[in-house]
Amino acid sequence: MTDVAASPADLASSSFFDAALAQLGPRGVTRDADLIDPWLTDWRGRFHGKAQAMASPATTAELSALVRLCAEHGVAIVPQGGNSGMVGGATPDESGEAVLLSLRRMNAIRELDVSGRKVTCEAGVILQTLHEAAEAQGLRFPLTLGGKGSATVGGLVSTNAGGTQVLRHGSMRALVLGLEAVLPDGQVLSMLTPLKKDNRGFDLKQLLIGSEGTLGIVTAATLRLVPAVAERLVIWAGVPTLHAARKLLLHCEDAVGEALEGFEVLPQASLEAVIDLQPATRAPLTEPHPWHVLIEVVADTAGAAGLAGRCEAMLASAFEAQLLDDAVVAMNESQAEAFWLIRESISAAERARGPAVQHDISVPVEAMPAFIEAAVPRLEADWPGTEAIAFGHLGDGNVHFHVIAPPGTDAAAWHRGDGKAISRQVHDLVTQWHGSISAEHGIGQLKRDELARLGDPVALDTMRRIKAALDPKGLLNPGKLI
């Protein structure tokens, strides 16, 4: 008989695993490749990693014990919620040394306080589940996005997620009232009790929101709820230019104030791409227009009275002031949904047209029309055969800026070469316009080098100091963000 010699690394890993197994039990930690593999590739399929094990603690106490163990053994931790992020932020590297930490078992809604309009959720609660729990009580959690069937509260908080209702309700940051997190040494930071006013020093909650699991692991959050929607009007308008769209935005803000929940723009080309992909789609307006605007106006019971009338007046005065060329109000919920479906189909329609590089960018709201008018022809001139398309949340100064490869291009080669160069150029332009190379998707691994290249050196230096102070061994989500 011959013994297979175990390497010191294997032995160390095995001693860590045995200790973790003793703490968490067989449901809490596994090395079974069949169970782990589905979670090692990111949502968009661009990053593939390896992990020595996957841990799935059931409670904050279990998670705290696991993190202590990882700190003792020097094992890196990659937290993961629904694995629906866009920047590879929840995918481990290829070394296979990290533990993949699934938060999905921690999925209790601990408390839903109807009169206080707040809910305390564990990190693994899925957004859709949260929506339904709020609706069942006549309330609403006002953040929503495409991946709502898989995105979890922990991931949404860690990435400060955005979505389509940010114009009115803000990003996740604006909805987090309290937080619980496990720090890199395993200590639990308990800040779940929501206080509307609290000036006891640095706001650590704010530091953790959007830190992508590099400073702490969000285990639960207390979130703000709002009254249910009592009245909703969805409007489709055609405008000649993006500058006109921006003027229309200001007009709508003046006319209906905070009832304005959505203000999305798309060019005629995007509408046509959707119709090409889904021929049953009906263009909302009879004529083509250079730009289209999708407007959503929403009110709860307190604000519903007279809302339809105010919207009608808003459109009439906009038409009179030549702020729009044509507009139609959805006559019923199904038409409203059809309007939104066009907006939500743009990404798929673009993908069907061939390889493309996507950029989730923001500039100051008022600068966005000029930015797009400058950037689109510039990119298309510098990269003959490409097509640049910008669409999305004009009201937030945030658009998805996609550049589609010339027809017939080999996808893989283009992504490695021209695609990469184009992305750098887009990010350079955005930076010159004082904008952000990541408006809502975060940095993760996808944009880490670009952030290091283009970020403010003073801000980067400050972030690195904070990271080193809170996670001196660099074990929390290594290789992400900074």
Q: 388-407: which residues touch a copy of itself (CB under 8 A)? A: 393, 396-398
The distance of closest approach from Cβ of residue 23 to a copy of itself in the complex, given in angstroms and rounded to an integer, is 20
- ∠ CA 189-190-195, nearest 5°, is 130
- In whole angstroms, what is the distance from residue 97 CA to residue 85 CA? 22
Name the minimum Å distance from CB 196 to a copy of itself: 4
Choose between 179 and 342: whose C-beta lies nearer to a copy of itself.
179
Within positions 340 to 379, which residues make up the interface with a copy of itself, using CB under 8 A?
362-366
| Cβ 176 to a copy of itself shortest distance, Å | 11
Crossing angle of helices 8-24 and 60-73, in 10° steps, is 160
Select the residue interacting with a copy of itself from 57, 442, 478, 479 (CB under 8 A): 442
Site stretch for a copy of itself (CB under 8 A), options 135-143, 145-153, 202-210, 413-421 = 202-210
Q: Does 312 bind a copy of itself (CB under 8 A)?
A: no
Tell me if 300 contacts a copy of itself by CB under 8 A.
Answer: yes
Cα separation of 298 and 232, whole Å? 4
28 or 81, CB closer to a copy of itself? 81
Q: Within a 13 Å sphere around the CA of 143, how many CA atoms are in the beta-carbon half?
A: 25
Q: Say if CB 285 and CB 266 are below 8 A apart.
A: no
Residue 207 touches a copy of itself, criterion: CB under 8 A:
yes
Q: Does 26 bind a copy of itself (CB under 8 A)?
A: no
H-type alpha helices, 384-456: 411-414, 420-432, 448-454
Q: Is 84 in the site for a copy of itself (CB under 8 A)?
A: no
Which residue type is seen at 199? N
In the list 66, 134, 166, 446, the residue contacting a copy of itself (rule: CB under 8 A) is: 166
Residues whose CB falls within 8 Å of the CB of residue 352, separated by 6 or more in sequence, listed in order:
273, 276, 277
- Closest distance between a copy of itself and the C-beta of residue 186, in Å? 10
406 CB neighbour count, 10 Å cutoff = 14
The yes or no reply on residue 250 touching a copy of itself (CB under 8 A) is: yes
Interface with a copy of itself: number of residues (CB under 8 A): 84
State the minimum distance, in angstroms, from the CB of residue 472 to a copy of itself: 9
Binding flag, residue 440, a copy of itself (CB under 8 A): yes
CB-based contacts of 28, cutoff 8 Å, min separation 6: 20, 21, 55, 56, 57, 58, 62, 66, 105
Considering the complex, state which of residue 85 and residue 355 has its C-beta at the smaller distance from a copy of itself.
Answer: 85
Torsion sign over Cα 65, 70, 73, 74: negative
**Is position 331 an interface residue for a copy of itself (rule: CB under 8 A)?**
no
Please report where in the chains the tokens 């190379």 appear, as a residue. 437
Of 54-83, binders to a copy of itself (CB under 8 A) are none
Which window, 48-56, 133-141, 148-156, 433-441, contacts a copy of itself (CB under 8 A)?
433-441
**Residue 257 in contact with a copy of itself, rule: CB under 8 A:** yes
Please say whether the beta carbons of 70 and 475 come within 8 A.
yes
